[in-house]
Amino acid sequence: LWPGHIDSPDGFTLTQAAGHTIHGNGYIDAAVTNHGTIIADRSNQTLELRSAAKTNHAMMKATNGGFLDLRSPINQSASGQIFAEAGSKVRLFTGSAITGGTTATNGNGQFALSGGGVNTTLTDITNTGSWLVENGSVANAAGSTFTNHGTFTVGGYTGGSGWGTFRLNNALQLSGTGTLKLSPGAIDGLATYPLTNGLGHTISGYGRIYASAVLNNLGTIEARGGTLEVYALPSQFAGNTLTDGTWKAVNATLNVHGADPITTNLASVVLDGTASVFAPINTLAENQGSFSLLGSRDFTTVADLVNTGSIHLGPGSKLTVNGAYTQASTLAIDIAGYGNANHGWLAIAGAGSLAGVLDVELAGSFIPSPGDLFTVLTCAGGADGFTLVLAPENQRMWNMTWPDPFTMQLEYVPEPASLILLTLGGLLLRRRGHR
């Protein structure tokens, strides 16, 4: 088609056999069953699939700077794929839909709900590429599963009014290893439906997850770039206990409406950056899961803290315990340079009962000089000793010293290649490399 069109006023279906190609620019109104290749391959030109529904068992793609515009439903078998190569776009418009099969991109190729006001439906697809639901457009998620190994961005570019929206048409499982990114954007439902964010999948960004999408988070919810509002209480919030999932704020606010103060954490919580906010965790008293302070984030407990899970203090991050601290598991501290601004630090206002593992790691490219000292723990009420020290993976040794009963320092001491265990009373320093 150069340019040209294919139609069928009498409603016949065109079957394209394997090995055959239709390419160029123009439009295809006729119903098509595709076992070959359909390609939009003229730079800055459009090949439109419109009117009658199309069935795809093989490949439809945009390449060479072309646009493949979808204005009719595309039904794909498991072998069907729609592909946007680098510099090219697949654009969806109202009237389009994709059911089944795979969507994929490479380079800066993109799928786009383009221009605002577009409404399309995606049913049980697998995405490995890059999508953009532009402002004012709606991507309806039908079927039971949306498998995403790519980046599906909701909200962004164009003059469309309002945010882009990812809309549940029924209960939905988000699976895969990709990210559904709100920038800013919204997730809602035609009615009130459960939304399961599966293990390995991330919902990230800022915007709103409305009450019509009731979240069950087994993966990661990450506030980034602004405030992420979650209006229906996720199933992991059980009174004062956070039971599962990863909850992360990266110099942003994660606001879970209706959440009680969390005193017991069984989940993974990450506060990254000085502007990170996840208010329910401010009352933490017992950590059985994972709790991380990164990006120079300081955190102060209300009172005592018991750690039977893992606590990770990144460079410049300080955990202050307003009471006693009891540890039976792992405390991880990163060292990226000299001074408190460059390593993790635990400050205990009361007594410290210290057992388990002290996991120290050099961050970035920093390597101390032999004999360098780093104050990583202070304990106003005095602390029990640490049991064992084990050389890190880079064959260097940290020697623990107590210049006074209330201060613990780590001394950097190069050692031979063999790993050496030193019994120093209380806490095990594990083998680690650079982060």
Cis preceding-peptide flag for 184 (omega within 30 of 0): yes
> Quick one: 119 and 223 in the same domain?
yes
Do 433 and 392 contact (CB within 8 A), yes or no? Answer: yes
Task: Identify the domain boundary among 250, 283, 316.
Answer: 283
More reliable by pLDDT, 418 or 243? 243
> Quick check: is 30 in a domain?
no
* 168 shares a domain with 200: yes
pLDDT digits (tens, 9 = 90+) for 13-47: 999 999 999 999 999 999 999 999 999 999 999 99
Place 344 in a pLDDT band, splitting at 50, 70 and 90: very high
Name the residue range of residue 382's domain.
Answer: 305-435
State the total domains in the chain. Answer: 2
Round to whole Å and give the CA distance between 254 and 331: 25
For the chain, the straight-line distance linking the first and the last C-alpha, in angstroms and rounded, comes to: 54
Assess whether 157 and 234 both reside in one domain.
Answer: yes
User: According to the model, what pLDDT value does residue 425 have?
Assistant: 40
* β-pair type (102-105, 126-127): parallel
Q: Determine what percent of the chain is predicted with pLDDT higher than 90.
A: 82
The yes-or-no verdict on residue 77 having pLDDT over 90 is yes
pLDDT at 435: 56
Residue 3: cis peptide before it, omega within 30 degrees of 0: yes
Asked if 400 contacts 409 with a C-beta cutoff of 8 angstroms, the reply is yes
- 263-304 pLDDT per residue, tens: 999 999 999 999 999 999 999 999 999 999 999 999 999 999
pLDDT, averaged across the chain: 92
Tell me the C-alpha distance between 79 and 101, whole Å: 6
**Residue 206 in domain:** yes
Q: Please give the pLDDT value at position 424.
A: 38
In a domain, residue 156? The reply is: yes
Same domain (yes/no): 345, 256: no
Could you tell me if residue 154 is inside a domain? yes
pLDDT of residue 405: 86
Inside any domain, residue 248: yes
Task: Let me know whether 151 and 278 are in one domain.
Answer: yes
On whether both 199 and 340 belong to a single domain, the answer is: no
Choice among 93-107, 128-142, 242-256, 351-365 with the minimum mean pLDDT: 351-365
Residues 123 and 98 sit within 8 Å (Cβ to Cβ): yes
Tell me which DSSP letter residue 370 carries.
Answer: T
Lowest mean pLDDT among 154-163, 204-213, 282-291, 420-429: 420-429
Mean pLDDT, rounded, for 193-219: 99
pLDDT in tens, 302-328: 999 999 999 999 999 999 999 999 998
- pLDDT, residue 400, reads 80
Give the mean model confidence (pLDDT) for residues 338-367: 92
Does residue 216 sit in the same domain as residue 259?
yes
Give yes or no: residues 181 and 230 share one domain: yes
Do 335 and 312 meet the contact criterion of CB atoms below 8 Å apart? no
Strands (E), 59-133: 59-62, 67-70, 73-76, 81-84, 89-92, 97-99, 102-105, 110-113, 119-123, 126-127, 130-133
**Residue 327 domain-assigned?**
yes
Question: Which of the residue ranges 146-150, 362-366, 389-393 has the most confident prediction, judged by mean pLDDT?
Answer: 146-150
260 and 213 within one domain: yes
Share of the chain above pLDDT 70, in %: 91
> Same domain for 199 and 279?
yes
Whether 385 is covered by a domain: the verdict is: yes
Contacts (Cβ under 8 Å, ≥6 apart) of 112: 89, 90, 91, 92, 131, 132, 134
In the DSSP assignment, the letter for residue 234 is P
Q: Vertex 270, ends 265 and 275: CA angle to 5°?
A: 125
Domain ends where: 216, 248, 283?
A: 283
pLDDT of 214 higher than 90 = yes
pLDDT at 432 over 50: no
Pair 279, 310 in one domain: no
Task: Out of 230, 249, 283, pick the residue that ends a domain.
Answer: 283
Residue 239 located in a structural domain: yes
Clarify whether residues 144 and 256 are in a common domain.
yes
Contact 137, 117 (CB under 8 A): yes
